[in-house]
């Protein structure tokens, strides 16, 4: 194997992704030397004074250091990193993921796989200050404690503000082909909590896009429902309301967009059930606490090593659960995406599932065969979402 040719392939893929604007980021990890000062590097594109730059984020044991380079200089830096020090390089693009792996003999090999994410991120430098949502004189942000009276994001709420804006970016991207034709939106937020995302959705659709929208937040804790309804009244958000209920017991119909972020365990499945059975156009989920499937895992001898350690079995349960959820969505006519919601530095609950309802005939049998194959592989007899969907037929 020609090491130079494999490395050059990765560089060429990087350059090509810049040319066709499919570049998302590069992640470099697994230093060959365990005592390496630099543990990993993440490379993004940012715009500084309207000019594209590479932003390198070097991760050390106890700190991160960020450096910006012009594109040509950045390519040279990437080539330097490819020549020494790390085993794993992944180029994320909206078309493919390109992975370069070095084996124990220091031999590299390039693999082209399906894209982890098709969303092109914002390239604005310091983009936490350049948002779709506006901070200035925004009453609900002040009432929720996100913004101070000086129109600045409170230091303790920076991570939440990042999460809110990232979520709105994703919603904007998801509906981008329909924005001009949308006349009215009926939206439900299942497990709305303190209403951060619910208020942001109302602000985005009603104030930014000027689309007539009815939005309902469903939350079990009455004190939060009362708080959110009070803030909605103060802001004169006439078509925003919050109700006290569980996701499972809620009755919804004629919904265009359903969101359920961090609904615990099978509450996410209840939200999927509500979305599918109400023929919801778009379902957006960020699952949490995948407890139902973990005890169901009955691993074969060949797979037992994966689940030997608790943390690995937990992550395996997460992957299997969310894969089966996406298959169920696809079986009922949704095109699905699973990707990173927001970087781990802001929240560990960082996976997002999006289902968009598509027209046309669906081969349900094919999808349920996939589901059965996964259940058989991992020894699963009982999958909650499958059970409640079967009961609804």
Nearest CA among 90, 77, 98, 76 for reference residue 26: 90
In sequence order, what are the residues at sequence separation of 6 or more whose Cβ sits closer than 8 angstroms to the Cβ of residue 84?
none
The whole-number average pLDDT for the span 153-158 is: 85
Res 109 pLDDT > 70 = yes
**Which strand (E) or helix (H) includes residue 370?**
helix 364-377
- Tens of pLDDT, residues 225-244: 999 999 999 999 999 999 99
pLDDT digits (tens, 9 = 90+) for 4-20: 688 999 999 999 999 88
Average pLDDT, the chain: 88
- The pLDDT of residue 50 is 74
Q: What integer pLDDT is reported at residue 128 of this predicted model? A: 43
Cα–Cα distance for residue pair 132/134, rounded to 1 Å: 6
Task: Say if residue 291's pLDDT is above 70.
Answer: yes
Is pLDDT at 361 greater than 60 in this prediction?
yes
Work out the number of other CB atoms within 10 angstroms of the CB of residue 308: 9
- DSSP for 298-324 reads ---TTTTTTTSSHHHHHHHHHHHHHHH
The pLDDT confidence band at residue 334, using thresholds 50, 70 and 90, is: very high
Using 50, 70 and 90 to split pLDDT, how confident is the model at 122? low
Residue 354 has pLDDT above 90, yes or no: yes
Q: What angle do CA 282, 288, 293 make, to 5 degrees?
A: 100
């Amino acid at each position: 194997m020609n090491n130079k040719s494999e490395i050059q392939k990765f560089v060429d893929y990087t350059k090509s992704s810049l040319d066709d604007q499919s570049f998302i980021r590069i992640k470099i990890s697994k230093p060959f030397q365990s005592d390496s000062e630099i543990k990993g590097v993440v490379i993004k594109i940012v715009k500084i004074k309207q000019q594209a730059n590479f932003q390198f984020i070097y991760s050390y044991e106890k700190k991160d250091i960020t450096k910006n380079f012009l594109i040509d200089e950045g390519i040279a830096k990437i080539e330097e990193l490819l020549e020494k020090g790390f085993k794993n390089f992944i180029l994320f693009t909206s078309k493919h993921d390109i992975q370069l792996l070095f084996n124990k003999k220091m031999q590299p090999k390039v693999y082209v796989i399906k894209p982890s994410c098709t969303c092109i991120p914002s390239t604005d430098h310091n983009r936490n200050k350049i948002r779709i949502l506006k901070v200035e004189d925004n009453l609900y942000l002040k009432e929720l404690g996100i913004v101070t009276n000086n129109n600045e994001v409170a230091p303790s709420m920076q991570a939440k503000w990042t999460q809110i804006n990232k979520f709105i970016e994703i919603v904007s991207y998801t509906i981008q082909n329909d924005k001009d034709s949308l006349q009215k939106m009926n939206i439900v937020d299942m497990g709305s909590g303190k209403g951060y995302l619910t208020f942001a959705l109302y602000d985005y659709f009603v104030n930014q896009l000027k689309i007539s929208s009815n939005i309902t937040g469903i939350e079990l804790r009455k004190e939060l429902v009362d708080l959110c309804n009070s803030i909605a009244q103060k802001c004169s958000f006439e078509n925003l309301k919050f109700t006290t209920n569980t996701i499972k017991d809620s009755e919804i119909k004629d919904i265009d967009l359903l969101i359920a972020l961090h609904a615990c365990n099978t509450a996410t499945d209840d939200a999927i059930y509500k979305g599918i059975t109400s023929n919801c156009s778009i379902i957006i989920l960020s699952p949490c606490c995948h407890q139902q499937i973990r005890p169901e895992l009955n691993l074969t001898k060949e797979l037992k090593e994966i689940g030997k350690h608790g943390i690995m079995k937990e992550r395996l349960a997460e992957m299997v659960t969310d894969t089966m959820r996406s298959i169920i969505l696809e079986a009922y006519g949704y095109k699905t995406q699973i990707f990173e919601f927001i970087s781990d530095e802001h929240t560990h609950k960082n996976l997002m599932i999006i289902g968009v309802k598509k027209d046309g005939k669906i081969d349900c049998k094919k999808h349920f065969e996939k589901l059965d194959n996964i259940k058989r592989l991992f020894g699963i007899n009982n999958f909650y979402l499958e059970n409640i969907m079967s009961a609804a037929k």
